Structure 1
Amino acid sequence: MNAAPVPILLTQRRYARVATPENPLVLESGQRLTDVTLCYEVFGRLNPAGDNAILVCHALTGDSHVAGRYRPDDPKPGWWDDAVGPGKALDTDRYCVICSNVLGGCQGSTGPSSVNPATGRPYGLDFPLVTVRDMVRAQARLLDLLGVRRLLAVIGGSLGAMQALEWAATYPDRMRGIIPIGGAGRFHPQGIAFNEVQRQAILNDPGFLGGQYYGTPGPVRGLATARMLGMITYRSDESMWTQFGRNPQGEANPLHQGFAVAYQVESYLHYQGRKLVERFDANSYLYLTRAMDLMDLGRGRGSYEEAHARIQARVLAVGIRSDLLFPTYLQRETVELVRASGGRAEYVEMDSPWGHDAFLVDFPLIEEPIRRFLQELEAEENA
């Protein structure tokens, strides 16, 4: 007997204006944005009580297209199709799943490539620095517009995990639980160092033109190089051996290649660099990596430890055994700090060799713990 076909999850990009001249978004820096739009997508239906929503927060170069297709024949999958959809862990027959492109991004939300209403041209580096807290405050306005009374959960990996933790500290009574994956409430020094090298590759590209490169090719080489370094931090030595080893690229002997691409791993990095240049704005890359650096749950809250005492939501912190960018001690620390303040937190580790990217490529390893956690939150909400 043939299995029933898997239903196609269809979606569309939507837009919400979350700040106006009459209701500006005041940033942590004190600067104001008077015109802010967030691009978002919704999967499933919000129940009449407005409390079955799950907010998915994306990583650095992600967007609102977490799952589904824009049309039945669309070849472009969502970036987390393994997690979101009918019958999946984030079950769209059961929950209303919402994902928005972050403030400062370049996939439909207001960011440095947007038109500055004061000048009529793209902001470029005139765009103010934004923090993860600013991103979360903008998302909260979006959820107000959508009628979400209380979130069942906030979930995300990497920068998305930072957002989940910031949500729990900024709006402690607005969600039942959070699932930060491969992230932390503050970035560690090595992570900041990685980001700075990536930014310097962009800033020192002659095509950067002080950030006002719109209408020109822009800092193509700089952004591609930044992505190449970023990809190294997303992978592990173990996964590099598994996928590439020391295999040469093509038939040529690496001894005769000089400084041309000689190994498969080099070809992979160049390919990833080219791919990002085609879809991402270099200025957004600068702003979002700096937002990661600036992430500190304790800023303005007494201390890092005291900030975790604000968290009322249940926490399922997920670490990745082979993660170079967010080592597992960071997720364990989150659990310890929440528990120390009397909160409820548990730790799950992905036994994956794929490094930081494991939350995207190896989701089945954590599907059941996440499914269980969400069902327990739902039971508590309905008790």
Structure 2
Amino acid sequence: MKEESVGLVETKKHVYQDKIELESGKKFGPIDIVYESYGELNEEKSNAILVCHALTGDAHAAGWHEGDKKPGWWENVIGPGKTLDTEKYFVLCSNVLGGCRGTTGPSSINPETGEPYGLDFPVITVSDMVKVQKILIEHLGIEKLLAVTGGSLGGMQALQWAVSYPDSVRFSIPIATAARSSPQQIAFNEVRRRAVMSDPKWNEGNYYGDEPPRDGLSLARMIGHITFLSDESMRQKFGRRLQDSKEYSFDFSPDFEVESYLHYKGGTFVERFDANSYLYITRAVDYFDLTHEGERTLAEAMEEVESKFLVIAISSDWLYPPYQSKEIVRALKTNDADVTYSEIKSSYGHDAFLLEPGQLKHIVTDFLSQIRVKDIQTDVPVIRADMSIETASEIMIESGYTHLPVSSKTGKLVGIITAWDIAKAVAENLESLKEVMTKEVVTASPEEPINSVTRKMKDHNISALPVTGEADKILGIVTSDTISQLVGRERPVPGIGGPRV
């Protein structure tokens, strides 16, 4: 399928009126949560993928806003036919707590004072950010995310989701990240914060309404941007070429292309980002440590995870080097978790997760193609074979499903009943389910690949399969609505589709 853009998109906002308890113990709220979504949520709400942005990102991950000069920050990954194919998936991205792009942060108005929070905003953690995302997910009626992914700080959020809400994530895809910030990473963050705080215009965070600390924030961004690149990428991109001159200036104005590039990056950054948000978010990165400062091992921290993992590192990343991703993999394997490790081969450094869409697509789509029945099955009420037609009808109407499994007293599958069967029984004044239910039932097993289920639905022209385990015990159901979304509209499944089953 040809790769396309999701086109024009709108930013949405959910206002959480209550307060949450932060990791610091403080209570904080209300909270504005700004987000964007791409693609369609299926009726089972089982195809949602949460994308978590990096340090200075925002909710605008893909598509275009009216008047934009450039698209969302992961435009080359999200959209029809792309890595996160919006013909299959419902993709979400929200601005993090503490940000400055709509979600409540230090530049937001404190309802108690009518003024921006400034440094009255509480110090937050990655865990707090994820807690706010969980509120958004629940607001949208999504019980379980198909996947959570993101690079850098976004990868930390993906890990935190798997640890904090293990039963809410099927697949975790952390990219170019770590399970805890290293001393070097903390050191870089501190230097960047001091660059901001040393600017006289920062004024202890009380610069709103006045001139912001542009010089300090620009310098912080320049320092940070160096860590996002690699020695090789800078050599290839800039070398020692001079900017607009053939000779040295013999003063301290920018002579080299690399100097001018960093000044440009710093200058454009101050137009879109709040200095205080920069302080708060980098501090959240510093505090990120799944071992809780050594109170438990990383393996112990990941004992309860349930999701399948794809851990992706970047070969030339010296900010979050591959050894940190391999630490995550080892901890998961200690717990016999289902984990795959992949490495993007690139000279771009840390930024490669934004700049290598081809490799990323190959790695991620191959991983997501491993979806099995147990990853998408849903719980359904089970009709007992000795129930009356009237009771079965009531259960079906209340559940919203038009196909329900029928069980024996021991929970063994003995048949399947449909809305059409119920209608026939009522029309013919039948009393027993056994007179209308289908007794020869095609089933799926929890470990069965999704493609196998697709073939069964096609071959038998049916739209729902009961999922059974040992001794034919009923575990749930998998439906055509979920299947058709995940196999993609470019590969329709003949004989299935239509209304929810």
TM over 0.5: yes
Query: Equivalent residue for 1:199?
Result: 193
Q: Distance in 1 between matches of 2:206 and 2:229?
A: 32
For 1:157 and 1:17, locate their aligned partners in 2 and report how far apart those are by CA, in whole Å: 26
Residue number in structure 1 paired with 2:494: none
Aligned to 1:78: 72
Task: Find the partner of 1:245 among 235, 239, 246.
Answer: 239
Question: Which residue number corresponds to residue 45 of structure 1?
Answer: 40
The offset of 1:361, in angstroms, is 1.0
Contact 1:234 1:325 in 2 (8 A): yes
Quick one: structure 1 residues 8 and 304, their matched pair in 2 at CA, closer, same or farther if it must change by over 3 Å?
Answer: closer
- Structure 1: distance between partners of 2:105 and 2:238: 36
Q: 1:303 and 1:238, CA in 2 relative to 1: closer, same or farther beyond 3 A?
A: same
Worse-matched range after superposition: 307-316 or 170-179: 307-316
Contact conserved, 1:49 with 1:149, CA < 8 A, in 2?
A: no
Say whether the 8 Å CA contact 2:51–2:148 is kept in structure 1: yes
Q: CA deviation at 1:303?
A: 3.5
* Equivalent position to 2:273, from 280, 284, 293: 280
CA contact (8 A) 1:152 1:378 kept: no
Residue matched to 1:15: 13
Q: Deviations along 1:67-95, whole A, 9 cap, x unmatched?
A: 01124x64330101111001111011111
Structure 2 match to 1:269: 262
Runs of 4+ with >6 A deviation: none
Whole-Å Cα distance in 2 between the matches of residues 84 and 348 of structure 1?
20
The alpha carbon displacement at 1:45 in A equals 1.0
**Larger Rg, first or second structure (1 or 2):** 2
Question: Are positions 1:179 and 2:173 aligned together?
Answer: yes
Deviation at 1:10, TM superposition (A): 2.5
TM-score, with length taken from structure 1? 0.95
1:298 aligns with 2:291: yes
Deviation, structure 1 residue 8: 4.8
Q: How far apart are residue 378 of structure 1 and its match?
A: 6.1
Equivalent residues, number:
376
Distance in 1 of aligned mates of 2:345 and 2:11: 34
The alpha-carbon deviation at position 152 of structure 1 amounts to 0.5
**Map 1:208-227 → 2, pairs under 5 A:** 208-227=202-221
2: CA distance between counterparts of 1:4 and 1:345?
A: 30
**CA distance in 2: counterparts of 1:27 and 1:74, whole angstroms:** 35
The match for 1:168 is: 162
Is the 1:82–1:364 Cα contact (8 Å) retained in structure 2? Answer: no
Find 1:235's aligned residue among 222, 229, 250: 229
Question: Are 1:366 and 2:360 matched, yes or no?
Answer: yes
Question: 1:330 and 1:260, CA in 2 relative to 1: closer, same or farther beyond 3 A?
Answer: same
Counterpart amino acid of residue 220 in structure 1: R
Residues 1:349 and 2:347 are matched in the alignment: no
Query: Could you tell me which residue of structure 1 aligns to residue 51 of structure 2?
Result: 56
Distance between the aligned counterparts of 1:32 and 1:270, measured in 2?
40
Identity %: 48
Question: In structure 2, how many angstroms separate the alpha carbons of the residues matched to 1:4 and 1:288?
Answer: 37
The answer (yes or no) to whether the contact 1:296–1:304 under 8 Å persists in 2 is no
Residue 331 of structure 1, aligned match among 313, 317, 325: 325
Question: With CA pairs under 8 Å and 6+ residues apart, which has the higher RCO, 1 or 2?
Answer: 1
* SS state at 1:278 partner: coil
Distance in 2 (alpha carbons) for counterparts of 1:296 and 1:6? 38
How large is the Cα RMSD of the aligned pairs? 1.6
- Is the contact made by 1:181 and 1:359 (CA closer than 8 Å) also made in structure 2? yes
Provide the rounded CA distance (Å) in 1 between the counterparts of 2:5 and 2:341: 33
- When residues 250 and 378 of structure 1 are mapped into structure 2, their CA distance, relative to the original with a 3 A threshold, is farther
Instruction: Give secondary structure in 1 for the equivalent of 2:369.
Output: helix
Distance 2:6 2:39 in 1: 13
Residue deviations 1:317-361, cap 9 Å, x none? Answer: 100011011010000110110011111111100100000000001
* Distance change (3 Å), C-alpha of 1:262 and 1:92: same
Deviation at 1:117, TM superposition (A): 1.3
TM-score (norm 2): 0.73
Instruction: Output the CA distance in 1 between the equivalents of 2:3 and 2:302.
Output: 45
- How far is 1:241 from its partner? 0.2
State the distance in 1 between where 2:123 and 2:371 align: 35
Give the letter aligned to residue 159 of structure 2.
L
